[in-house]
Each structure stands twice: as C-alpha cells, then as structure tokens.
Structure 1
Amino acid sequence: MAYFGKEFSFEREENFDAFADFIGAFDANAKGFMQYKPNQILEKNGDSYKLIFKTPALNHEVVFKSGVPYSDVIREGLTAESTTTVDGDTFTQVQDYGPLGSITFKREYSADQLKVTVTSSKWDGVAYRYYKA
C-alpha cells in the first residue's frame, strides 16, 4: 500500500472541539487532547502493524495485529483495551473504557491523505481529523 511508511501531518479538523468537550466529562486532561496533533506513520511487518505518533516532544508507538485485542496506554494512568480491525485501506480502532463506553477511530488511508473519523458509544456526535502526506 502506498501509504505504508509515509508520514502524515495534521491539516484540519471538524467538530473535534465538541469531542474534546465530551471526553472532558470523564477526563480532566481533555483540553490538552485538543492540542495533541501528532504526525502519524503506519508501518507493516508481516501480519503486524505499527502506528507511530510523532510530536516534537514525544513519540508513541502502538503495535497490533488485525482483530487481536491489546492493552493501549493512552497516557500515564489511562489505559484502554483496544482492538484494531484492518479492512483494505481502513483501520478501525475501538478503545474500550468499560463503563465509560468506547471510542472508535476509523483511519482511512490513501497515498496522500489520512482521514480519521472519531465516534463514541456515549456521544451522539462525529468528529474528523484530516492529515496530508
């Protein structure tokens, strides 16, 4: 796939402030989440994938296999049980926070763009983030 190994940088977002307000209901760090706009790189090695989030201050990597649950460290003190399912150029990650509900990040890749659709089981809205290669 033409997007593997490419670095995608943040371009714009839609309704993400409403999503941050929603997660602020159960996470005091939600406002900081609005400022978190890391570059993203997706790599593939056999049947494993590595999603790299890059900022000037910090890099974070998540390694997963399609459909296999894993423990996802969101930040210190906050972990979610996640499952990412790969379907062609679409990577759908569901983060399960137990009684707080789940958050879904649907990443749709093309050679020059990444579109991330954000939804939640406890929120009626939809947010989008767009990245360019």
Structure 2
Amino acid sequence: MKDGKIMESSLRLTRLDIDSLRSLLRQKNIFSMADVDYAIFETSGKLSVMKKENKQSATKADMNSLSTKVFPIATEVIADGTANTNNLTQLKLDTNWLDQQLQQAGVKSLSEVFYAEVQPDGTLYIDNKDDF
C-alpha cells in the first residue's frame, strides 16, 4: 500500500476484500491503514508490512509523551462508498462531520471513497476509489 491510489486494484488482483486486509493487518498489530508505508501479499498467503517510520514501535518514554489520543483505535467510517453510521455514532460523530471532512479533503461525494477511517487523533484517513 505504498500509494493509497493503487490499493483498490491491488486488492482486486489478490482477491482480498477490505475486511480481509484489515484482519491481516490486525494480526500484525496494525490497527490503521494510515500506519502502513508498504504492504506485500506474499505467494504463501501471508502479508508482509512495513510501517511508516513515525509509526514503528515506540519506547515507553515515547508513549508517555503521546497524550493527543481522542479515540482508542482507528475506526472505519466509509467502506466502498458507503458511510458506516454505526461507527460514526459510537465515535459521537455524524454524517455532517464526515461530509465536512470529505469536502476539506477535496472529495465531492461518498461514492468517490473506497475506504476511510477516523484516526486516534481525530483526523480522517481517506483512500479514494480508482475507477479506470
């Protein structure tokens, strides 16, 4: 997932859906796609992942200095152009907030989004659909 723009086509090639990918990432203790710099689906069926440099394992001292968490983990709010209103409600957010975030990111419609998740710091990670 070096470039988020190729995620959708890469998933199609490997015959994975977004939920299967998220499950494989969680097995690697990665709970947010925004933390992934690069991922390779190996021929053995396993996933090899390189985290972004600033998301690699931290020391206890590093963890004590991080007090900006708003949410416990990254949470899916859009999958294949559809808003997950249950997750938004659990995060005490709504579709108005989501629409505003998308507009700020230059996204005109939910249908343009392949996947989006709210990060622990409250920001929104967006992967747009790649319609060729």
More helix by share: 2
* TM-score band, normalised by shorter chain: under 0.3
Q: So what's the TM-score if we normalise by structure 1? A: 0.26
Name which one, 1 or 2, has greater alpha-carbon Rg: 2
More strand by share: 1
